[in-house]
């Protein structure tokens, strides 16, 4: 465990809230007196260090978002509050009563809709869509723009038996695939994140309605295929939006009798509707299962921890009731399997998966580069395309004021959509965390999309267009050109081992295009070598320590001892280790002393019983550091403490070079097969005319 950190705010465990009914399906119940109940809360926890963030992840609380030095969680029950209190972390209450906040939002939404004939959004909508609304809107776009839009159904139904729909946008969209680059946007992996679907759907409307009117959009659509899946998790979203709409704020005062809205039910549901691993429960089971657990907290798999890359590692739980439960196996869920197959069958050069909230644009990697996955045995290192993805992230963030950063700078995450997409397919991938609430008042959705204040006229819309420009830019992917028989099918494929945290899974990428009537082809594809097996840059210690000091001492159980370490010059790394003779539990904190004598926590280590403690700080500035030894639960009071600063160097871990297999097929027969090695930004001519002579 981590030792207690400074607590700044004490929450009231049982607060007086709007009376909450006993069912999740009826909006009104009655009670004869005001009752005191626990109100679901959104709190912001102090997490100044990576170790503190990892502690929050380990608590099994419902992680909601994060910012610089903080992690937001939803407290569903008094037991959640007790867990947070026992951890000793400081926190602020952001929203003390999510039920009351939902009522307030619903009232604001109703007023906005009543006062608005047509919003400034491309679709003109003035309220959140339901699941049926999404399907209706996609069908309508395809119906009224037949040569530009087509609908498709993903191959796997949801656990509750729902079809999962998407649309494809492009010039002559019903014709054969001619090798254009693919841009993919998704929403609603997490059920309660309603704006993530709205942003995805509005961008589709924007492209379709402005095609032929706006030269920039027309050019981008002509040069690409855009794939839109606004609702990845239809079961969870339907439960969330339905229950959320029940919170209407109706209160009836009948001579002292107070009438109550419904409970929040699944309004703040995160995961899908998996009730039991490996069991395909009857359709409709989700509603019954989620009705028995606060916030549907104990049901489901976190789809954004169920993808294959590094599945089963840090930031994903193996406990079913945990909000970040990763599932029984990689891609165990039909919803994540749908996206896997969708992306494996197309050359997606840029992908955005929308989420809420925190005003962030996150890019791979999901895990700190010094982490070592047992499946690989070497540090994961920085993403191979860090420089290019950082530049794109910064360009997008300049349009909406978000913070662009590596995903691991928020907290370690494995099994995420963008890590699998980038590492397995090679296409650039980003996770967006939109806004400051799960589902804020609808006018805020309008502002997020179109921009407000200093970002008016830009916003997410402009950032998405920049991402689409990246998708069509040949410098950011690879291009195959050449000659082949008119009408022939070209296939690009490979079967690869994708590393999980402790093993590997098999992924097969297989995409096709049709050669045009002139016998020439241009195919926009991703590089042949996957980022996960490329050379990687790893920061390593360079030579002997610049400074070094050791201490020994004793500390009684439940007590702590401080030692000062004065760093005389800036260093790349500060390593502090704590050892003791018995297999029980000490903990370690590192603080920096300010000019006024105050202590600021900069690192901590609270491993499981028997595991020794280590803190590694990067880019350390000169000053006084306080090293705190905490005897959390050790019967032997003696310990040894070591501290050292180092300059660091960069080491390259050699990787592999992979090839695509390019085949030319006619009449279902493979007539020519060519191995292709191609890098990002490269154009390669491959002559397939022999295919026509066989």
List strands edge to edge, sheet with 599-605.
Answer: 560-567, 623-633, 585-593, 599-605
The reply to whether 448 belongs to the active site is no
Place of tokens 């395909």: 280
User: Alpha-carbon distance 585 to 607, whole Å?
Assistant: 8
First-to-last CA distance in the chain? Answer: 68
Which sign does the torsion angle of CA 112, 116, 120, 122 carry? positive
Active-site entry in 433, 448, 462, 469: 433
User: Alpha-carbon distance 253 to 257, whole Å?
Assistant: 6
Residue 406: how many CB atoms within 10 A of its CB? 20
> Measured between alpha carbons, how far is residue 109 from residues 39, 118, 296, 364, 438 in Å?
22, 14, 24, 35, 15
Tokens representing 500 are 């999980």
User: Alpha-carbon distance 100 to 39, whole Å?
Assistant: 9
Q: CB–CB of 192/128 below 8 Å?
A: no
Antiparallel, parallel or unpaired: β 29-31 and 70-75: unpaired
Question: Where does 41-179 show beta strands of DSSP type E?
Answer: 41-46, 62-67, 70-75, 91-95, 149-153, 165-169
> Measured between alpha carbons, how far is residue 88 from residues 3, 7, 584 in Å?
8, 6, 20
> Measured between alpha carbons, how far is residue 145 from residues 173, 224, 466 in Å?
10, 17, 24
Residue 474: how many CB atoms within 10 A of its CB? 15
Which residues are part of the catalytic machinery?
A: 433
């Amino acid at each position: 465990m981590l030792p207690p950190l400074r607590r700044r705010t004490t929450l009231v465990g049982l607060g007086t809230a709007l009376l909450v009914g006993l069912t999740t399906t009826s909006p009104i119940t009655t009670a004869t007196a005001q009752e005191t109940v626990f109100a679901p809360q959104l709190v912001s926890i102090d997490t100044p260090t990576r170790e503190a963030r990892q502690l929050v992840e380990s608590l099994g609380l419902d992680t909601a978002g994060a910012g610089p030095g903080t992690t937001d969680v939803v407290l569903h029950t008094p037991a959640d509050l007790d867990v947070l209190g026992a951890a000793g972390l400081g926190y602020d209450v952001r929203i003390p009563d999510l039920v009351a906040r939902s009522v307030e939002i619903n009232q604001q939404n109703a007023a906005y809709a009543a006062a608005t004939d047509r919003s400034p959004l491309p679709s003109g909508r003035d309220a959140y869509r339901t699941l049926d609304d999404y399907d209706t809107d996609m069908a309508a776009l395809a119906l009224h723009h037949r040569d530009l839009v087509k609908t498709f159904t993903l191959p796997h139904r949801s656990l509750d038996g729902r079809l999962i729909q998407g649309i494809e946008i492009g010039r002559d969209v019903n014709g054969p695939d001619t090798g254009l680059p693919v841009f993919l946007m998704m929403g609603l992996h997490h059920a309660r994140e309603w704006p993530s679907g709205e942003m995805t759907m509005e961008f589709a409307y924007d492209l379709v309605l402005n095609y032929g009117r706006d030269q920039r959009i027309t050019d981008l659509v002509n040069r690409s295929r855009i794939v839109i899946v606004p609702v990845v998790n239809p079961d969870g979203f339907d439960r969330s939006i339905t229950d959320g709409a029940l919170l209407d704020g109706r209160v009836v005062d009948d001579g002292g009798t107070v009438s109550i809205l419904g409970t929040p039910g699944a309004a703040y549901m995160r995961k899908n509707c998996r009730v039991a691993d490996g069991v395909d429960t009857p359709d409709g089971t989700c509603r019954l299962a989620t009705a028995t657990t606060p916030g549907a907290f104990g049901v489901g798999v976190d789809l954004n921890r169920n993808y294959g890359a590094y599945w089963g590692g840090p930031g994903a739980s193996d406990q079913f009731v945990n909000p970040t439960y990763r599932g029984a196996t990689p891609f165990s869920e039909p919803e994540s399997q749908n996206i896997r197959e969708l992306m494996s069958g197309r050359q997606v050069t840029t992908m955005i998966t929308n989420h809420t909230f925190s005003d962030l644009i996150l890019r791979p990697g999901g895990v700190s580069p010094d982490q070592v996955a047992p499946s690989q045995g070497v540090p994961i290192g920085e993403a191979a395309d860090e420089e290019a993805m950082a530049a794109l992230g910064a360009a997008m963030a300049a349009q909406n004021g978000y913070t662009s950063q590596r995903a691991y700078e928020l907290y370690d995450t494995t099994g995420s959509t963008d890590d699998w997409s980038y590492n397995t397919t090679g296409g650039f991938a980003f996770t967006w965390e939109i806004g400051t609430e799960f589902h804020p008042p609808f006018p805020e959705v309008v502002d997020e999309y179109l921009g407000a204040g200093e970002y008016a006229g830009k916003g997410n819309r402009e950032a998405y267009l920049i991402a689409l420009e990246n998708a069509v830019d040949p410098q950011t992917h690879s291009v195959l050109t050449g000659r082949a028989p008119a009408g022939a099918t070209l296939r690009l494929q490979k079967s690869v081992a994708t590393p999980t945290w402790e093993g590997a899974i098999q992924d097969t990428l297989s995409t096709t295009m049709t050669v045009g009537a002139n016998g020439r082809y241009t195919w926009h594809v991703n590089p042949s070598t996957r980022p996960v097996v490329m050379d990687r840059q790893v920061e390593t210690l360079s030579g002997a320590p610049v400074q070094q000091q050791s201490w020994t001492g004793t500390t009684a159980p439940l007590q702590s001892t401080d030692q000062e370490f004065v760093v005389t010059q800036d260093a790349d790394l500060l390593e502090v280790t704590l050892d003791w003779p018995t297999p029980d539990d000490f903990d370690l904190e590192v603080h920096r002393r300010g000019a006024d004598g105050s202590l600021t926590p900069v690192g901590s280590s609270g491993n499981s019983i028997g595991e020794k403690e280590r803190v590694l700080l990067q880019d350390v500035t000169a000053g006084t550091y306080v090293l705190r030894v905490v005897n959390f639960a050790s019967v032997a009071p003696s310990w040894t403490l070591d501290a050292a600063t180092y300059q660091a160097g960069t080491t390259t871990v050699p990787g592999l070079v992979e090839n695509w297999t390019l085949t030319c097929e006619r009449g279902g027969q493979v007539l020519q097969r060519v191995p292709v090695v191609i890098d990002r930004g490269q154009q390669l001519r491959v002559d397939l005319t022999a295919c026509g002579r066989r």
